[in-house]
């Protein structure tokens, strides 16, 4: 195993293997994840994707029901998308997902 991850393998077009680290993957995903709380039940996943896709490519979007509202976890493909969102949010622009939306973004 150590030989396989030590250097690229020329016979396999410089393919290089890396040790699998599930903790590192989870931490990396958290850096790309935007958590939106208090999402009204009438807001669809498609509306969430449409609203936040202007900041970057969304790899996946999942929601969790918490009492009368949902919490959305929007995962972008890069931290650049998160930075673009934060810059826009700090500038005072709002994300409109529909009428009477009271969603909070953390």
Q: What does the pLDDT read at residue 102? A: 43
Coil/strand/helix, residue 4? helix
Q: Which residues contact 90 (CB under 8 A, 6 or more apart)?
A: none
d(CA 29, CA 88): 21
Q: Which residues contact 26 (CB under 8 A, 6 or more apart)?
A: none
Token pair of 40 as six digits? 């009204």
Q: What does the pLDDT read at residue 66? A: 82
What pLDDT digit, counting tens, does each position of 36-81 carry? 899 999 999 999 999 899 899 999 899 999 888 999 999 998 888 8
Q: What does the pLDDT read at residue 99? A: 39
Q: Is this model's pTM higher than 0.95 or not?
A: no
Strand 69-76: give its sheet, edge to edge: 58-66, 69-76, 33-40, 104-105
What mean pLDDT comes out for the span 10-31?
Answer: 67
Q: What does the pLDDT read at residue 85? A: 83
Q: What does the pLDDT read at residue 1? A: 53
Token pair of 54 as six digits? 């202007």
Structural contact between residues 73 and 64, judged by C-beta atoms closer than 8 angstroms: yes
What mean pLDDT comes out for the span 2-19?
Answer: 64
What mean pLDDT comes out for the span 15-37?
Answer: 73
Judge whether residue 104 has pLDDT over 60.
no
Token pair of 59 as six digits? 């790899």
Domains in the chain (CATH in brackets) are 21-105 (3.30.70.330)
């Amino acid at each position: 195993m150590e030989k396989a991850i030590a250097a690229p393998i020329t016979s396999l077009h410089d393919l290089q293997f890396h040790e699998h680290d599930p903790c590192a993957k989870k931490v990396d995903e958290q850096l790309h994840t935007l958590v939106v709380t208090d999402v009204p039940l009438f807001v669809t996943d498609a509306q969430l994707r449409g609203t936040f896709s202007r900041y970057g490519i969304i790899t996946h979007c999942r929601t969790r029901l918490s009492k009368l509202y949902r919490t959305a976890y929007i995962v972008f493909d890069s931290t650049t998308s998160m930075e673009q969102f934060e810059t826009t949010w700090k500038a005072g622009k709002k994300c409109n997902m529909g009428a009477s939306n009271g969603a909070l973004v953390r």
